[in-house]
Amino acid sequence: MNNYIIEKIKKEIENFSPKTEAEKTGVVVKVADGICEVEGLSDVMMSEMVLFDNKQGREVKEIIEDPSTIVGLALNLEEDVVKVVILGDTSKIKEGMTAKSTGKVLSVPVSSMYIGRVLDALANPIDGLGSIEAKQTREIEKKAYGVMDRSPVNTPLHTGIKAIDSMIPIGRGQRELIIGDRYTGKTTIAIDTILNQKNEPEDKRPICIYVAIGQKESKTARIVSDLKENGAMDYTIVISAPASSPAAYQFLAPYTGVTIAEYFMEKGKDVLIIYDDLSKQAVAYRQMSLLLRRPPGREAYPGDIFYLHSRLLERSAKLNEKLKGGSITALPIIETQEGDVSAYIPTNVISITDGQIFLNADLFNKGQKPAIDAGISVSRVGSAAQTKAIKKVAGKIKLQLAQFRELEAFMQFAQDLDPETKKSIEKGRRLAEILKQKNHSPLGFEKQVVSIYAAVNGLFDGVEVSKVVEAEKKLLDFVQTQHKDILDTIRKEKDLSESTEQKLQDAIKLFEESHKDIFTVNKKDVA
């Protein structure tokens, strides 16, 4: 760079002055559909907060302190006007009203007092339990942590769901997509994961944030009620942007959620955040974009919808020890149409995340709950995020289940099956039964180890398929009451040592002897 250019830049820096009052002030020229056009804000930033003032001549500080002030978000910076999304009652914004820029990107208050509360998309309490004094605010848009600030994902986040913890393990700091058609149990998996954190020691229990985007308010109220009943609201924050709220709120809610999550992560805590669901956020963003007169892109979505989701999900991370080692684990939810994972939004989010749990509507209708498709579901972190105990007992279970699903499909067309194929199908049926689980009944990982170990080693081969779930329950009750030391050892060591395995084998033999009435099938037909 030559000296002339350097001198010119220095001069410009010396002559630089802050925004004048005229540059900060504009006039509303048009209002419609939650969007207003403002003239005169020549120096406003993208995503900057804009304040609407119905009284003339007030300073920004006075306007902010007025509780009736409505805030807007500058999203389109055009040559003559700035298009602002109104975050509040649109009817109060009139043509000719003064609009003032604040020089600040949209921020939300953050506080540890939010735990146990229900908030709106701008972090205001909406549960009727009083206001929260937050001493700190954070910008909702923030650059994600870089590679050098992160550490490998190697600590498990147990969901309490056997099918996930054994086949598609989730690690703290991972982004695992939950994807499937409507009414296939996506939200149930997310809520059960929150409930299961109660099984974690208090010092290692993650703070959970559930973000409800575009949901019915009755559904969110039911979820809050379930969390309270099970004592999970003690470590959970719920953020609600219901279907009745403006599109801007549904667009902002996930960013508010991750901003609060980062506040806890930077204190060295683990956080689990659930976005339910990002399909509805995409629809809200499309609505906003079209009202802002942005050109639609592929499938009538704005071209930057990928960037919207990637800059949200990239903020999930496991920080290194220098940065206190906190983490954000994200479970985004995406709704598919007729199981089409190749549609625009599903492929976008699949490419951003570290794996997906695919829920199959056909399996759900057959009574397989959770309806996890072992063939399509994957965790790119894999066994690095599993405890040694589960890794030892569940090594081949995913492959066996995927093979069974293939054989089951083939069986519909085949007349005669050879004995080996019949045995494989019988074994697979019992394996599928073991992975069934009731809603809101997550299982501690030590019990999962016992259950899967027994299934893989053929205990349930002598049980009728329809009675496998009942036999499993009896086994777990038997071990819990008469061999509790085995569960305690597995929980403490997080491993299945040779001595513990021997004790477990002995316990299973005693169970077989004392419950002969449930073993009515010849094992040779299955094994």
Give the catalytic positions in this structure. Answer: 380
Q: Is 450 helix (H, G, I), strand (E, B) or coil?
A: helix
- Are 424 and 526 in contact by the 8 Å Cβ rule? The answer is no
Query: Token pair for residue 169?
Result: 């393990």
Residue 229 amino acid letter? E
Query: Token pair for residue 463?
Result: 């049980």
Residue 293 amino acid letter? R
Residues whose CB is less than 8 angstroms from the CB of residue 124 and which lie 6 or more positions away in sequence, other chains included: none
List the Cα angle 373/430/443 in 5-degree steps: 70
Closest CA to 174 of 373, 347, 382: 382
Strand stretches in 336-416, DSSP E = 355-359, 378-379
Residue 30 parent element (H or E):
strand 25-32
Query: Token pair for residue 248?
Result: 């801007």
CB atoms within 10 A of CB 313: 23
CB atoms within 10 A of CB 398: 18
Closest CA to 155 of 120, 116, 216, 201: 201
Residue 270 parent element (H or E):
strand 270-276
Q: Rounded distance, CA 193 to CA 274, Å?
A: 10
Task: To the nearest 10°, report the CA torsion of 161, 162, 166, 170.
Answer: 0
Q: Rounded distance, CA 186 to CA 363, Å?
A: 13
Pairing outcome for strands 207-213 and 236-241: parallel
